[in-house]
A = this chain, B = another copy of it.
Amino acid sequence: MKIRVGIVGGAGYTGGELTRILLNHPECDIHFVLSKSNAGKFLHEVHSDLNGETNLKFSEPSVNTQEKNFVGVDVIFLCVGHGEARKFMENNELPEEVKVIDLSQDFRIAERSFIHQRKFIYGLPELNKAAIATASNIANPGCFATALQLGLLPLANAGVLGEIYSTGITGSTGAGQGFSQTSHFSWRSNNIQAYKSLKHQHLHEVYQSLRQLQPTIENSDFEEGILNFVPWRGDFTRGIFITSQLKCDLSMDELQKLFHDFYLNNPFTYVSQNEISLKQVLNTNKCVIQLEKVGHKLVIHSAIDNLLKGASGQAVQNMNLMFGIDETTGLKLKASYF
């Protein structure tokens, strides 16, 4: 029997990408897609590329509908804004057997990962695969957090992480559909801008993951912590590319082995022996990593599609693990390499 899926917040970018993936997922049926502002409309009126793919309509999140919907599904994806996921969980009594995968940041930090009887597991398969497989609730990682961690986890696992200086660049979809000066085409086209220098909210979950592997990392605040990360707004719609610089005494051979071993059995994440570029991973669920060594200096590049490995793709990967099916099911996506 197929996994019965409900999507809450289906009109945004992550809800749309999730729908695109699940419509072609061989082990899933989408039972409902909720959207307050679009209830009653066809999905393809909002996601116009879905024209011809599905006749599903957005549901109205009325109390009655909810009860009916929430009972009939196996898993609910929350694709709502930060803060909205916690509210949804507070306001809705979900049947115990319904699993939840939340794409917001509301339950990612362990101290805030509980609600009612539910405990959320941080859903980075490369870090927590066993726990995900038995979890009922997943806090899906942030996009920058995913790309940043995947470049650093093997070093934390070896206990060799010191100060890290990173710069990342993200496509416009990372900021959602909202309107602002920086989302306007006339502003963003051919432009670059830094924002939230050293204070990006995803750093909290990255610190948490690094300390899980290297508990000696003491501070984890913006002012004193070892993570120095500056994100940039990029002149493209999809993808995240991060360069991290740090001191490291391991040889290139040792580093390659560390990374190779750490990502063994992780089908989406691997270290390339060649120069990587962002477009290698666009429209896929992959993370590619490149290592460079100059003297004692180590440079790590990592790249993901922010909407897939950084959001909806990883959410489906988590669902696959939770339901005991192959991790890559429905995620063998044709790259949009050009």
Contacts and interface: CB of A to CB of B under 8 A. Distances in A.
Contacts of A66: none
A299 interface: yes
A329 interface: no
Interface stretch (A31-39, A72-80, A85-93, A193-201): A193-201
A5 to B, nearest CB: 16
A181 B198 CA distance: 31
A292 to B, nearest CB: 5
Contact of A165 (B51, B228, B282, B295): B228
A288 to B, nearest CB: 7
A203 B103 CA distance: 42
B301 A194 contact: yes
A117 interface: no
A4 to B, nearest CB: 20
Q: How many copies does the complex hold?
A: 4
Contacts of A187: 185, 277, 279
B172 A52 contact: no
A257 interface: no
Given A20-B334, A238-B338, A284-B49, A185 B172 contact: yes
Interface stretch (A105-113, A208-216, A239-247): A239-247
Given A183-B185, A284-B49, A338 B277 contact: no
B16 A337 contact: yes
Contact of A177 (B186, B232, B286): B186
A235 B238 contact: no
Nearest to A281: B49
Contacts of A24: 332, 334
Contacts of A165: 165, 228, 245
Given A184-B179, A243-B232, A338 B13 contact: yes
List 9 tightest A-B contacts by C-beta distance, closest first.
A223-B295, A165-B165, A167-B167, A179-B179, A193-B277, A49-B335, A336-B336, A192-B241, A185-B188
25 contacts: A24-B334, A48-B280, A49-B284, A51-B272, A52-B267, A52-B286, A171-B186, A177-B186, A179-B183, A179-B184, A190-B190, A190-B237, A192-B236, A192-B239, A192-B278, A194-B243, A194-B299, A198-B245, A198-B294, A198-B299, A228-B297, A238-B336, A282-B336, A333-B334, A336-B336
Interface of A: 13, 16, 20-21, 24, 45, 47-52, 165, 167, 169, 171-173, 177, 179, 183-195, 197-199, 222-224, 228, 230, 232, 234-239, 241, 243, 245, 267, 270, 272, 274-284, 286, 288, 290, 292, 294-297, 299, 301, 303, 307, 332-338
